[in-house]
């Protein structure tokens, strides 16, 4: 339900970031295998001053390095207020821990007068074992922080999920409340999408959306309220295969979070491509049999999918993206 048409400053900033994001052409080579072919878009016009909120970090010098990126991976960073989302992004993209951070709101202005960006673009390098290729490859992580004041039922979250490829869900190891919220967010995501984990609950017609659960501030052991085991157990129960403890303050584990989520996105794409090929082979190999005049896929049980109302709603939100059959993990 939309309670108000008056956006808060934070919501306005977030929407602007999203709109600017959608403008950007995807240079993701792997994505071309999983998205319907579309006419080549003209390069976007130079960003207007009014929507430059997230520009400081978006063009990193590393992008000018010799090898061009093999793709862009869109990642949403979510979590409770103060869990350390901004600090994680800052540590990842700039290698620094911001001094006294303030809540992410558009009204927040640093002492130097710069507004907080809530997003970053930064390269990662993935090993051949991860990319399924013969050499190391460079990818750009295009990360967007989701404002923590949004509830999990907010349409903004659904929109953000629809335009991203994976999520890093952060909690503070010194806050049981933030852990509860993180679990709620993961559950909400998995109501709509499949994790990259085979399970009897995976539905064959849903999009795979990898999630990494991150316990931040593990350096603050004195105030710890959530043990690492609790984090792992929760991840396991929810079908999330990656859970990590990190510290944005010391930097430990931060790079790995984004390399892991990058690898997960690529694995999801490979799984999706494999599933499509299997589906195509079944069609070509006569895997269909006629039922009256209507061809039906021969299956081992369950329905061919598509009956789920929520799935239908989300399908319409995908801006033309296809939903993919998931058939295991690459
Ligand atoms: N000890 C410790 N403190 C941290 C760490 N990461 C962040 N903090 C502190 O936690 C507070 C909140 O960090 P932020 O990065 O602003 O958290 P956020 O999730 O972006 O917060 P909102 O924008 O309000 O949602 C700040 O005071 C940080 O200095 C960490 O790894 N260890």
What pLDDT shows up at residue 228? 97
Q: How far is the CA of 102 from the centre of ligand 1 (A)?
A: 8
User: Who's near 314: CB < 8 A, 6+ residues apart?
Assistant: 158, 162, 192
Range list of H helices, the chain: 9-23, 31-34, 85-94, 128-131, 155-162, 176-192, 228-238, 254-284, 309-317
Relative to beta strand 288-291, strand 242-245 is unpaired
DSSP letters of 38-100?
-PPPPPPPPPPGGG-TT-TTTS-GGGGSSSPPSEEEEEEEEESTTSSHHHHHHHHHHS---SS
What is the pLDDT averaged over residues 111-119? 47
pLDDT of residue 327: 36
To test the ligand 1 pocket, which listed residue (101, 108, 181) has its Cβ within 8 A of the most ligand atoms? 101
Task: Report helix, strand and coil shares of the chain as percent, to nearest 5.
Answer: 35, 15, 45
Round to whole Å and give the CA distance between 139 and 114.
27
CA of 173 to the centre of ligand 1 (A): 11
First to last CA, the chain: 38
Q: Which pLDDT score, from 0 to 100, does residue 151 have?
A: 56
Q: How many alpha carbons lie under 13 Å from residue 60 in its C-beta half-sphere? A: 21
* Residue whose CB lies within 8 A of the most ligand 1 atoms, among 8, 10, 82, for a mutation test: 82
**What pLDDT does 291 receive?**
38
pLDDT at 70: 86
The pLDDT of residue 165 is: 93
Closest CA to 141 of 78, 74, 93: 74
Give the ipTM.
0.99
pLDDT the model gives residue 257: 96
150 lines ligand 1 (CB under 6 A): no
Residue with CA closest to ligand 1 atom 30: 217
**CA dihedral in degrees (159, 25, 277, 189; nearest 10)?**
-20
Closest-lying ligand 1 atom to the alpha carbon of residue 116: 23
Cα–Cα distance measured from residue 175 to residue 173, given in angstroms and rounded to the nearest whole number? 6
The protein residue whose alpha carbon is closest to atom 14 in ligand 1 is 84
Most confident range, picked from 70-74, 158-162, 228-232, 261-265: 228-232
Regarding the beta carbon of 249 and ligand 1, being less than 6 Å apart is answered: yes
User: pLDDT digits over 66-112, tens only?
Assistant: 678 888 999 999 999 999 999 999 999 999 998 865 555 433 333 33
Give yes or no for residue 79 CB within 6 A of ligand 1: yes
253 touches ligand 1 (CB under 6 Å): no
Average of per-residue pLDDT across 26-38: 43
Atom of ligand 1 nearest to the CA of 246: 31
Average pLDDT rounded to a whole number, residues 37-58: 40
Give yes or no for residue 101 CB within 6 A of ligand 1.
yes
Task: Find out whether the beta carbon of 105 lies less than 6 Å from any atom of ligand 1.
Answer: no
Closest residue CA from atom 7 of ligand 1: 84
Q: Is the CB of 13 under 6 A from ligand 1?
A: no
Query: How remote is the CA of residue 145 from the centroid of ligand 1, in Å?
Result: 13
Rounded mean pLDDT of 161-187?
95
What's the CA-to-centroid distance between 191 and ligand 1, angstroms? 28
pLDDT digits (tens, 9 = 90+) for 257-300: 999 999 999 888 887 777 667 666 666 665 544 434 433 333 33
What is the per-residue pLDDT for 198?
A: 57
pTM, entire model:
0.68
Q: What is the whole-number distance in angstroms between the Cα of residue 2 and the centre of ligand 1?
A: 29
Look-up of token digits 């992410």: 104
Which atom from ligand 1 is nearest to the alpha carbon of 247? Answer: 31
CB crowding 107-143: b at 16 or more within 10 Å, else e: ebeeeeeebbbbbbbbbbebeeebbeeeeebbbbbbb
């Amino acid at each position: 339900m939309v309670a108000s048409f008056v956006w808060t400053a934070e919501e306005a900033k977030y929407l602007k970031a999203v709109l600017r994001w959608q403008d950007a052409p995807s240079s993701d080579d792997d994505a071309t295998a999983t998205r319907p072919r579309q006419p080549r878009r003209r390069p976007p016009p130079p960003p207007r001053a009014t929507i430059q909120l997230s520009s400081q970090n978006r063009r990193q010098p590393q992008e000018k390095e010799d090898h061009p990126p093999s793709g862009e991976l869109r990642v949403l960073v979510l979590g409770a207020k103060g869990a350390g989302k901004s600090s994680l992004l800052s540590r990842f993209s700039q290698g620094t821990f911001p001094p006294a951070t303030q809540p992410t709101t558009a009204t927040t202005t640093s002492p130097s007068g710069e507004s907080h960006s809530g997003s970053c673009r930064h390269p990662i390098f993935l090993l051949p074992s991860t990319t399924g290729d013969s050499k190391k490859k460079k990818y750009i992580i295009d990360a967007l922080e989701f404002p923590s004041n949004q509830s999990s039922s907010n349409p903004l979250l659904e929109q953000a999920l629809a335009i991203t490829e994976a999520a890093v869900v952060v909690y503070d190891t010194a806050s049981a409340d933030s852990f509860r919220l993180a679990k709620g967010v993961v559950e909400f995501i998995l109501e709509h999408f499949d994790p990259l984990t085979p399970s009897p609950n995976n539905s064959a017609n849903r999009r795979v959306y990898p999630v990494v659960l991150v316990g931040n501030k593990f350096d603050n052991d004195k105030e710890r309220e959530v043990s690492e085991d609790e984090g792992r157990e929760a991840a396991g129960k929810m079908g999330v295969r990656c859970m990590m403890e990190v510290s944005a303050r010391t930097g430990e584990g931060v790079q790995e979070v984004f390399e892991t989520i990058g690898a997960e996105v690529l694995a999801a794409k490979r799984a999706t491509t494999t599933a499509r090929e299997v589906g195509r082979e079944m069609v070509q190999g006569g895997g269909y049999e006629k039922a009256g005049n209507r061809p039906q896929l021969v299956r081992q049980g369950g329905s061919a999918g598509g009956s789920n109302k929520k799935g239908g709603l989300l399908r319409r939100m995908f801006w033309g993206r296809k939903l993919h059959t998931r058939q295991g993990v690459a």
